[in-house]
A and B are shown apart, each in its own frame.
Chain A
Amino acid sequence: MNSQSTAMRESSSDWQVNESRGIASAVPIRRFYWSVRRELWENHSIYITPLAVAALAVLGYLILTLGVPVPMPDPRLLDEPYSMAAAFVVGIFYSLDTLHDERRDRSILFWKSLPVSDLTTVLSKASIPLLVLPLFSFAIAAATEVIEMGLTSVVRPAGDLSVATPSTSVFRISLGLLLYHTVTVNVLWHAPIYSWLLLVSGWARRATFLWAALPWIAICAVEKIAFNTSYCAAMLRDRFVGGPEAVQGTGRFVDALSRFTPGRFLSSPSLWIGLVVAAVFLTASVRLRRYQGAI
C-alpha cells in the first residue's frame, strides 16, 4: 500500500514535469491557434463577406465582358481589390464588437475559466483584422484575378488586339503589387485603427461605435473652432484612405506601380508613430481585459 502510493506520487510528479515542459514549448502557439479558430467559428462574416463581394465582382465583370462591345480597358488593370475593401469594413465591425460581445453575452466568464491568458486572447482577436482578413482577401483577390484572366481569354476572340492580352509576367507583377498593398496598407498602415477599435470594444459598456468615433470628431471640431486648422481631420483621412506613402487602395495598378516605394514608406515617421500607437492600444486592451467581467 505504502510503496504503491509512493509509486503513484512519483508517476504523478513525472507526469507534471513532462507536462510543464510541454506547456513551455508547444502550448502557447496551440492556444493561440485555437483562439483564432474560435473567432472564425463565431464570425462567419470574416470569410463570407469578402467571398461574396469577390463573387459579385466576378459576376459584374462577366456581364461587362459579354455585354459591352470593344473598346474596353484592359480588364486586368481595372482590377480594384473589392474583396479588400470588404475585408476592411468587416475588420472594423469585428474589432468594434468582439471584446464587447463577450462581456455582453457573459461568455467572458467561460473564456476566463480556461487557461488562456488575456494576452493570447487579445492578440488572437487582433490577428483577425491584422493577419487573417488581409491574407484571406489577398488570396481572394489573386483568385479573382485568375478567374477574370481566364474569362477574358475565353470570351475575347483570339487576335483581338484592342485588348492587351494578359501575360504571366504582368500577372506576377500585379500579384506582387497586391501583396505589397496588403502588407503596407491593410496591415501596417491600418494597425492603429483596428487597435483603437479593439480598445474601445473592451472598454465601453455600450454604444461602442459612438465611443470610437466621438472623441475624434470632438478633437477635429475643437481644433477647427479654436485654431481654424484641420490637422486632425487630415491625419484621420490619411489613415483611412492610405497614407501619402502607402499605395492608394483605389488606384489602378499601372498607376500603383509608380507608387511602389517601400523605402519611402518604411522611412515615414507616421508609419512608425502609428505602429507605436497601435502597440500602446493593444497593451491597454490586454490590461483592461484583466479587470473586465460580464456587463
Chain B
Amino acid sequence: MVNEDYFYLDHAATTPLRDAAFEAFKYAEIEAFANSSGGHSLSRKAKNLLEESREIIANYFGAAPSEVTFTSGGTEADNWIIKSSFHSKLSDKSELITTKIEHEAVLSSAEWVHENGNIVHFVSSDSNGVVNTHELLSKVNDNTKLVSVMFANNETGVVQPIKNIIEEVKKINQNILFHSDVVQAVATEKIDFHKYGIDSAAISGHKIGAPKGIGVMFLSSKFKLPSYFHGGKQELERRAGTVNVSGVAALAAAILELEKNITQEKMKIDFERNIFEEKLNSEIDIEIIGKNATRLSHISNIQFKDINSETLMIALDLKGLGVSRGSACASGAQKPSHVLKAMNISKDVINNHLRFSFGWTTKDGDGLRAANIVLSSLRELS
C-alpha cells in the first residue's frame, strides 16, 4: 500500500512530519551535528541552534527559555514532573490529585506514587467527559503537593475547565504545583502557560508535525524539581543525555509553521470535522461524544449503534481509512477505553466507539469523504 493512497484520520495518535521540520532536522544533522555540550566551534554551532530553537519554542508558549527542558516526549515529561515531585516525599503526607481521564503517562505515574505510599485522588468526570471540578476541589488540602489535569482529552477531545480549576485550587493552597498534559491540545490550541497559571506541562513534538522522540517539559521558574535522568550535566544539569538538537530544531520549525498557520488549519479541520459528524448524524443513529462540551477541533469520538468498532475499524482499514479505538495493548488488541469507562458509558456500547482525528494535512472534502466510507462500510457490515 502506498501511503499517499491511504486516508489517514488518526492525527491524534501522530501526525505527519511538516516539511519545514524535516528540512530543519536535515540541516541540524548535517550542519550542526556536533555534540552541543562540546568546546569547539562545531559544538558551538549546535549549541547556538539549540538555544535559538529553545527561544522560539518557549516564546510560543509564553514561557522563558530557562523554563523549557527538552525530553524524549510527553510521556517522559509527565513521568518526570509527577514522580520527581514525590520522590523525596514518598510515603509522607503529600497528596496527589489527578483525574480518571488522564493519558496513561499520567495515570500510571500517579499509580506509581500511590504504590509508594502516598495518597492519590483520582477525580471522576461527568457524562460529557468534563472533569468534576467540585469533586476535585473537595480533595484539595494543605498536604496537596501536585494537581495534574490534562488541558484536553486525547480520546474525546473534550477541553477541561483548566483556568477555573487552577484559580480555585490556588485559592485553597497556593503552594500546589499545577501540572497539565497539553500533548493533544497543542495540535489545534495555542496555549500561554503563564496566562493560564499552568506551572508545568508536557508537550510532544510528533503531535504537531515534529519528529517522534522530542518533547518538552515546561516548568515554571517558581518551582524546582530534582533530575529524572542522571548522567552528564546537559540542559542546565536538569536532564542528562546528549541533547537531541536536530529534534529540537525540527520542533522549533514545526512550531513556527503552526504559529503561522494555526488559524487557517483549525478553521479547515473544524469545518471538515463538522461536516463529517453532520453527514453521519443525518444518515445513521450515532452519539457524538462530548458534543455538549467544548471540544478540540480535530477529534471526533463517535459511538455507533449495534456495531462493535473492532470490526468496523478493520473494515475501514481494508477500505484504506485509518482511525483508532481506545488504546492498544502489547499484542495490538484494542481494549475498552478507560476514558469512556470514567464517563460511565454503558458496557453495552463501550466497544462501539471510534476516534476519527483530523490534522494539518486535512484537505477540502475530507469530512464528507470519510463519512461516506464509514456509511458504506456500515451498510456492508449490516
A binds B: no
